[in-house]
Structure 1
């Protein structure tokens, strides 16, 4: 039976691929622009057998060979990779409407509640409502200033915890991840569930978010051969459904508690509300122009926790790693903190605008180590022309910002960690999607919706760690900067560093 099943599956894949390939040849027979150049690959499998472990380097090398736009087939999925600022601009700005769709993966479909979130849904009216709610109610300057106390409390807890671990190795990535998760939970639903139950939910939440993000980046046969998606050969969908079931239990608990408190009048009617309260109040207004369902509420919560935790923690870890590797940059960052904040004070968010060198460290870290180095793939809603080549409907379009950020024709000594490149006349070079040679958060209508919070939180956490402690590697440990890429660009080996107090007054660590 197993042999019969394998033979039937192989024949099905072959038949579908022949039909698809024939249609592609027919479409190219007209007078439309040709498809981009690219490696041939194999029948049925495409370029899949030739993909190595270092996809970013491989895509960059293929770009050098075939040009700044090239194609490759992964299974029967046509993928197009763009590695130049001018062509990236065509996609994310000039033809933003056409390329605003997502080529949603099997894992993302489950995690987004059927493509009903901000990250993966098509840019329809419902998507615009959800994004507007997020940006206005959680990411506006007014909302972020109102929630500063929550961020401050969590950062101070971290500094106090690290003080108790002086002389011991600290996992910077793990520390940053726990901090980001706690900040997100507090901003989303405040202290709705407290005490031991709150701690248990927080720990479970951290584990789930990490597992979910790992599944986002796992290669899946169902995505390369969509006709086989129903078989879920690798079990990716089943795993994601299991994780989402566990996550829904947490959402159930906090939503139920919120609704109970709302009906009892125990949650604020005015003043600062947590984000879940705002979402539930909007949901209750069914006749409103901003109407959303409970599915949309859960999807928005999922976007925030999945998109705002692992990515942020990874960036803080890379920043600290680069500073450890470059002692002169570390010394400059700490001197600036001493000058601006002082050694008899603690870092506050109002110090951030004056920390120009630290902001440059943050920008340079994102240049060398963008959290999502291929961005989330786009998919044209209709056949389009970019760089003189046709990109067919429903193909998957990658923008290789990792390669663009390391292009020697754009950046001087691109592999060198040099924060100074973002100072002086380049100080206004930001990451808001207007400079197409620097797109760590994307651009256009699909730019990261949480950019404002990420900017505040990441620099604030990094500043507090550098201001409060000196750091060194554990004795006998060697230093490496090896990368692991799935959908996120992680450090292959966790950064373990030993803290030593830098401030003279122990009360500053309380």
Structure 2
């Protein structure tokens, strides 16, 4: 949907290995590393990478950027062919290219940077809520939103925030506020059918902001709210799910910008409808 790519495991050494490398890069991208400069802004810590985290992050980002750039180049070349017809956009990158010209700039960033950054956000969102390769994860829960940098001095809840300060929003705390949510650590989706039924998920009510808020909110909001529940409904309708030996799910949380499960889910998926119905 995003890049017009299909990753399967049909042939060894082909798409499977590429998918595995990209999956690992996304996982590394979403990992959390404690950099001394973040906590102790001493010039020595900024220029000397004692722990190797900065080198690791740069290497990971360089690989992901190369993949995204190659996909973007393929789409640009496709649009330059004489047989290409405007309006035949096949995926998200196609649509972005058709909407933005080379002269368009968003906050000083070029068209290619804007497209690659937006695609990366969507990939990381999909990696958090769906299945990628052999590792499946539960619905995403982000403990922190993307950092916001204040462009001028401001006051937030009585605290003076100097210009240039990076502010991290602790959504884990917001979503577990006992003043708003009863039994916040209990998995209780039915709560949204009662007292919280009118809560808006698009960032207008700060007690529940799974997609963030404002200009830095997740660009995949519409996709998630329109497609995810349909995909889950189709899976539940068409298949029965069980765990090996019927043991309960291991819900231990792993570390990362999005809180994936510490261990992949292992399930058996069994068709529950006549085989002919799965052809449609």
Q: Distance in 2 between matches of 1:460 and 1:235?
A: 43
Structure of greater Rg = 1
What is the aligned residue count?
268
**CA separation in 2, counterparts of 1:310 and 1:477?**
25
Q: What do residues 72-97 of structure 1 show as CA deviations (whole Å, max 9, x unaligned)?
A: xxxxxxxxxxxxxxxxxxxxxxxxxx
Work out whether residues 152 and 162 of structure 2, in 8 Å CA contact, stay in contact via their aligned partners in 1.
Answer: yes
- Structure 2 counterparts to residues 427-506 of structure 1, below 5 A: 427-475=197-245, 477-503=247-273, 505-506=274-275
Kindly provide the CA deviation profile for residues 52-111 of structure 1, in whole angstroms up to 9, marking residues without a partner as x. xxxxxxxxxxxxxxxxxxxxxxxxxxxxxxxxxxxxxxxxxxxxxxxxxxxxxxxxxxxx
Higher helix content, 1 or 2: 1
Cα shift readout 1:240-278 (whole Å, capped 9, x = no counterpart): 332333334433433343333323224332243433334
* Shift in Å, 1:473: 2.3
Hey, what does 2:177 align to over in structure 1?
407
Counterpart-to-counterpart distance in 1, 2:69 and 2:118: 14
Distance in 1 (alpha carbons) for counterparts of 2:195 and 2:39: 45
Shift of 1:429: 1.7
Secondary structure in 1 matching 2:269: strand
Task: Write the mapping of 1:53-452 to structure 2, written as runs, cut at 5 A.
Answer: 187-190=1-4, 201-214=18-31, 217-226=32-41, 227=43, 228-280=45-97, 285-286=102-103, 292-306=110-124, 308-313=125-130, 317-318=137-138, 371-424=141-194, 426-452=196-222
CA RMSD between the two structures: 3.3
Change (3 A) 1:454 1:229: farther
Q: What is the deviation of 1:218?
A: 1.7
CA distance, structure 2, for counterparts of residue 489 and residue 448 of structure 1: 16
Give the conservation status (yes or no) of the 8 Å contact 2:121–2:219: no
The 3-state SS of whatever aligns with 1:490 is coil
Tell me how far 1:313 sits from its aligned partner. 2.8
Partners of 1:257 and 1:378 lie apart in 2 by: 33
- Native 8 Å contact 1:373 1:440 kept in 2: no
Distance 2:64 2:147 in 1: 25
Higher-RCO chain (CA-CA 8 Å, sequence separation at least 6) = 1
Corresponding residue of 1:53: none
TM-score, normalised via structure 1 length: 0.46
- Report if the CA contact (8 A) 1:193-1:254 is conserved: no
> 1:478 offset after TM fit, Å?
4.8
Q: Write the distance in 2 (CA, Å) between the matches of 1:224 and 1:289.
A: 34
With over 3 angstroms needed to count, the CA separation of the structure-2 counterparts of 1:448 and 1:296, relative to structure 1, is closer
